[in-house]
Amino acid sequence: MPPDQIAQETKNDRWSVGSYGELLAVALPMVLSASTQSMMHVVDRVYLTWFSRESVASALPAGILFWSCLSLPYGAISYLNAFVAQYEGAKRPDRVCASVWQGIFFATVCGFLLMIPAVWSMDIFRLVGHSENIWPLEATYFRWLCLGGLFATLPAALSCFFSGRGQTMTVLAVNASSVLVNAGLDWAMIFGHGPFPQMGIAGAAIATNLANVYATICYIVLIARQSRHGEYRFGDHFRFDNGLMRDLLRFGGPSGLQMFLDVAGFTAFIMIIGWIGPDELAATNIAFNLNTLAFTPVIGVGIAVSTLVGQRIGEGRPELAATSTWKGFVLGGGIMAVFGSIYVLFPQVLLIPYALYAEGDEFSKTRDVVIVLLRFVALYSFFDAMAIIFGSAVRAAGDTVFSMLVTCACAWGLLVIPTYLTWRFYQPSLIWSWVWCSVYVIVLGFVFLARFSSGRWMTMSIIEPSSPTAEPPPVADDAALCR
């Protein structure tokens, strides 16, 4: 019996299907993995806060604009996790490998395309209209991130080979070690230690790129090792598969568009706040940065829910997928509740690292604003968990068009447009901007809860039947998903 099959059967003997034990076995490594990724961003911002206020204020608009460019391909590539999970549940390792190859081909093309905006980085941020001491730094950070685009997309595709099959400890090991690589390079490149000159905000972006290169190499080595043993003969499936690529784009495309429209909405939101002033922009940057401490672990739970839902759909047991989803919501909502309490009760403690080497008088104003903004984060965090967990479940089954449409409507109808109209016709108000941000997250959470409760996702599947004579499960067409 192949080692992977023995490990899977051992796991199933230890944890009953649909239990909290099974959920935690998959989710805990992904929670820790996502947490290490959030710590990478926190470390970046802390170092940049020590370097200069202008640097930390510039990192968020530039970083989120890059993420806007990355989100469309990244969302489509990440949906590969659902394909791997459903094929794994259907016991079809050949299609698992073929799916990952299509993700690698797609990620490579998109990675090279992401380098193109670097050419116009200065023009883009000059047009945004932020202050003269901010936009050149934004352009520098954005340019270097774009140049590392290939290694931002490849790890996303390669990691699905492990996360979709429930081998989340592997993803944790790679992500945790890459965070350590990033932290060390940040310290050396931002401040100019060791063989590196002082590069400031450019050093932060280059360090991120090099950490992604390291993660890519790790995944390639690990996949090559698994290909030599067991049933996953990865090298045997190195070919372009028209049908699989078409399915990836059919289901992953709307998922990528959803992520793009969501991130684009937040990008516009951040740009509007940047018009108010650098202090407000720096405070928003830090508040969102601290928000990632709660947000990214719940993203890890969402990936685990997506994996389990995909595997149960592939096995033809959607009722167990529903059970795992509700248990995932209990876990994700609990995480958000704990962090929400910390944001309200201990904000000064969270801000100690940012203030450690920052200018005292300069940072004190920013600190007071961040404390207020963290109350908004505490308010909407629980509803954010609803959107993440229930949204992950319905998308894993194939309900991606609805997710795209509702996210677009909420992001622009409840976040961007109201914030702009408030700024344009009332006054440039940071508080009102965050009120609209909270409304957006709360409404999105309830919409995904309602969609999940409707049960439409339980009749969907994204993979073809295992044999020509098999009866395929009923699949909702794209037009039906829009209704």
Q: How far apart are CA 254 and CA 404, in angstroms?
A: 6
Judged by phi (left if over 0) then psi (alpha if -120 to 50, else beta), residue 94 lies in alpha
Share of the chain above pLDDT 90, in %: 37
pLDDT digits 0-9 by tens, 113-144: 999 999 998 888 888 767 777 888 888 999 99
Number of domains in the chain: 1
Token pair for 351: 């801000």
Give the lowest-confidence range in 42-56, 227-241, 468-482.
468-482
Other Cβ atoms closer than 10 A to 5: 13
Q: What is the residue whose two structure tokens read 């685990």?
A: 304
pLDDT value at 326 more than 80: yes
Instruction: Name 40's Cβ contacts closer than 8 Å, sequence gap at least 6.
Output: 178, 179, 182, 183, 208, 211
* Average pLDDT of the segment spanning 5-26: 63
Amino acid at the residue 285? N
Is residue 2 one of the residues assigned to a domain? no
- pLDDT at residue 188 in the model: 94
How far, in Å, are 136, 365, 372 from residue 378 at the CA level?
A: 33, 21, 10
pLDDT value at 477 more than 70: no
- pLDDT at residue 232 in the model: 83
pLDDT value at 60 more than 80: no
Give the lowest-confidence range in 37-46, 119-128, 354-363.
354-363
pLDDT value at 459 more than 50: yes
Q: What angle do CA 59, 186, 210 make, to 5 degrees?
A: 95
Q: How confident is the model at residue 474 (pLDDT cuts 50, 70, 90)?
A: very low
pLDDT value at 343 more than 90: yes
Across the chain, which distance is largest between two alpha carbons, in Å?
73
- pLDDT at residue 46 in the model: 80
Is residue 5 one of the residues assigned to a domain? no
Q: How far apart are CA 243 and CA 108, in angstroms?
A: 19
- pLDDT at residue 37 in the model: 66
Q: How far apart are CA 189 and CA 342, in angstroms?
A: 32
Q: How far apart are CA 183 and CA 233, in angstroms?
A: 35
Q: How far apart are CA 262 and CA 147, in angstroms?
A: 23
386 phi and psi angles, rounded to 5 deg: -60, -45
Is residue 333 one of the residues assigned to a domain? yes
More confident of the two residues 28 and 239: 239
Is residue 7 one of the residues assigned to a domain? no
Closest CA to 332 of 40, 27, 36: 27
How far, in Å, are 131, 309, 401 from residue 41 at the CA level?
A: 24, 29, 30
Share of the chain above pLDDT 70, in %: 90
* Average pLDDT of the segment spanning 146-173: 91
Q: How confident is the model at residue 471 (pLDDT cuts 50, 70, 90)?
A: very low
The count of C-alpha atoms lying within 13 angstroms of the C-alpha of 318, restricted to the half-sphere facing its C-beta, is: 16
pLDDT digits 0-9 by tens, 210-254: 999 999 999 999 998 888 777 888 888 889 999 899 998 998 889
Closest CA to 377 of 267, 301, 294, 443: 294
Q: How far apart are CA 244 and CA 127, in angstroms?
A: 41
Considering the chain, what is the average pLDDT of its residues?
Answer: 84
Cα 481 off chain centre by = 24
Is residue 1 one of the residues assigned to a domain? no
pLDDT digits 0-9 by tens, 308-317: 998 898 888 8
Is residue 180 one of the residues assigned to a domain? yes
Helix axes 53-78, 360-397, angle to 10 degrees: 10
**Domain of residue 234, residue span:** 14-466+473-481
More confident of the two residues 432 and 478: 432
Q: What is the residue whose two structure tokens read 């289901």?
A: 251
Q: What is the DSSP string of 390-411?
A: HHHHHHHHT-HHHHHHHHHHHI
Q: How confident is the model at residue 1 (pLDDT cuts 50, 70, 90)?
A: very low
More confident of the two residues 338 and 472: 338
Q: How confident is the model at residue 465 (pLDDT cuts 50, 70, 90)?
A: low
- pLDDT at residue 362 in the model: 65
Closest CA to 318 of 397, 391, 209: 397
Q: How confident is the model at residue 360 (pLDDT cuts 50, 70, 90)?
A: low
Q: Is 479 exposed, middle or buried (0-12, 13-18, 19+ CB in 10 A)?
A: exposed
Q: How confident is the model at residue 38 (pLDDT cuts 50, 70, 90)?
A: low
Q: How confident is the model at residue 468 (pLDDT cuts 50, 70, 90)?
A: very low
- pLDDT at residue 348 in the model: 87
pLDDT digits 0-9 by tens, 248-300: 899 888 988 888 888 788 778 877 887 777 777 778 878 887 888 888 889 88
Q: How far apart are CA 18 and CA 14, in angstroms?
A: 12
How far, in Å, are 119, 136, 319, 448 from residue 116 at the CA level?
A: 6, 18, 45, 35
DSSP state of 166: T
- pLDDT at residue 234 in the model: 84
Token pair for 54: 């202008």
pLDDT value at 448 more than 90: yes
**Residue 71 · residue 256 · CB < 8 Å:** yes
pLDDT digits 0-9 by tens, 406-442: 999 999 999 999 989 988 888 778 889 899 999 999 9
- pLDDT at residue 358 in the model: 60
Closest CA to 186 of 45, 317, 379, 19: 45
Instruction: Name 158's Cβ contacts closer than 8 Å, sequence gap at least 6.
Output: 100, 104, 216, 219, 220, 223
Helix axes 278-315, 20-51, angle to 10 degrees: 160
- pLDDT at residue 62 in the model: 84
* Average pLDDT of the segment spanning 70-87: 88
Q: How far apart are CA 169 and CA 1, in angstroms?
A: 22
Signed CA dihedral, 12, 395, 379, 371: sign only: positive
Closest CA to 55 of 201, 174, 198: 201
**Helix (H) or strand (E) run with residue 351 in it:** none
Token pair for 179: 């965070």
Q: How far apart are CA 430 and CA 257, in angstroms?
A: 28
Q: What angle do CA 72, 391, 334 make, to 5 degrees?
A: 120
Is residue 234 one of the residues assigned to a domain? yes
